[in-house]
Amino acid sequence: MKSFQIAASILSADMASLADQVRQAEAAGVDRFHVDVMDGHFVASLGFSPEVVRVVRRTTQLPIDVHLMVTDGNQFTKSFASAGASRLIVHAEADWHLHRTIDSVRLTGCDVGVAINPATSPMVIDEVLPLLDVVLIMTVNPGFGGQKFLPETLPKLERLRQRIEREELSCQLMVDGGINANTAANAINSGANLLVAGSAIYATGKGIAESVRDLH
């Protein structure tokens, strides 16, 4: 099986003991953390503020990805970069001016990514793919944790992986949604090299350390 990294999504963590949950996941061997920001408009849920990112940053030196599931990602880039984000990920569906937003993220010093929803064609990011550090393929419809993985997203992963390798691009290919010990292998074999896992780390009932071992 190809190599991969795990990003622990704090959406499923216990917010009352967030720092401890972050420390446990780091000790268990995750590679980075994933923070979802939701505005109640682009997705129905409300997500995390820059202060949550500050808590994670104070607790770990691992990279932090901030996933902006918001209508206007551009207005949030500076605040989350200042809070300690390592990488900012915006949605292609919510941003009409991706080149401008990519430049805006670069100016903050953060790495940059673009996410696409399950029903969105990867063609929408054709022009910007060479400019990205990561492409995030949503393998559920965004907004809620604990959803079932959508296997129809796998051909999209395969096509993107083929292009990345054909053009020798350096961007990672990330998947988010329904990733667990049963679905991870299919995602990796289809081309993903970065798995976002929330419920599969924080809500299995086995404990964080054993859950991360199961994913590995």
Residues that are catalytic: 36, 176
| 84 labeled part of a ligand binding site | no
CA separation for the pair 65, 7 (Å, rounded): 8
| Residue 97, both tokens | 């001016």
| 9 labeled part of a ligand binding site | yes
CA separation for the pair 9, 34 (Å, rounded): 4
| 191 labeled part of a ligand binding site | no
Is the separation of the CB atoms in 89 and 114 below 8 Å?
A: yes
| 31 labeled part of a ligand binding site | no
| 211 labeled part of a ligand binding site | no
CA separation for the pair 60, 93 (Å, rounded): 31
| 178 labeled part of a ligand binding site | yes
| 145 labeled part of a ligand binding site | yes
| Residue 123, both tokens | 């063609």
Task: Residue 65: count other Cβ atoms within 10 Å of its Cβ.
Answer: 26
| 34 labeled part of a ligand binding site | yes
Enter the DSSP assignment of 61: -
| 113 labeled part of a ligand binding site | no
Closest CA to 196 of 19, 46, 5: 5
| 144 labeled part of a ligand binding site | yes
| Residue 99, both tokens | 């080149």
| Cα radius of gyration rounded to whole Å, the chain | 16
Helix or strand (DSSP H, E) at 114: strand 111-116
Helix or strand (DSSP H, E) at 200: helix 199-202
| 33 labeled part of a ligand binding site | no
Query: Which residues are annotated binding-site positions for a divalent metal cation?
Result: 34, 36, 67, 176
Query: Which residues are annotated binding-site positions for substrate?
Result: 9, 67, 143-146, 176-178, 198-199
Query: Which residues are annotated binding-site positions?
Result: 9, 34, 36, 67, 143-146, 176-178, 198-199
